[in-house]
Structure 1
């Protein structure tokens, strides 16, 4: 079948960012789900990003790509050019091509989950290798387990 239905926890490539300097709290867990490698996508890439309370992404961009984010659960702030803007569950974020920042700071008491989408070309130029179990060893995973269990419960109720 040409259409693919994917579960980010089972089919995505886990990528833990920020573990090199955990004291900076710039940690995020990414499940790269729609990529040229996973589904042969040519025009877009998507992944699920999870932040524990207090975690944030580093200042970054995806050159050659606009970015769209949808907040699945939680809340936080996006920082761009020194300005902060709050976001919450069910909000959309649009980040223009080349804009540096997009540093999401999660301020909630529980985890935050975010769906990110951008072009495959820009993503593949900076595509990171999936994270090994050994590298993830010290990372907090409570939120991932909670989201996975929620996903499993919802799937079994359908």
Structure 2
């Protein structure tokens, strides 16, 4: 078994967008970042995308996971189309998405955690997670896939610098 591949979420989102099944809303702080909220199962999934026309150029997803110290925690994943990788798109979209989340949550919650679980083999995502989440990951083994991973955690509140 392998870790979930978020690039499949990007492909699925792109197909649904092309089929007219989605109408993501522009961000409040960044009108070039679009949000789609859905509920696959019981949890809310927040999907932020950068678009070039109707083409997804970066996708960032946040899904609630187990709380940390009694506070909400979101698992985060990102994907960029293969032809656009290595241009900083995921990092820029991630930071814009966190700003939008913080802004949108300001009346409902003062702070939250983000958790990135990255395959021990995915060096590009490790570099990004170290830059935008935490430079001090915790090595682990994924409970479902049974593969080595690195866990990146960061607490976000109104004073967190991005």
One fold, TM greater than 0.5?
no
Question: Which structure carries more strand by proportion?
Answer: 2
**Bigger relative contact order (CA 8 A; separation at least 6):** 1
- The two structures have a TM-score, normalised by structure 2, of 0.31
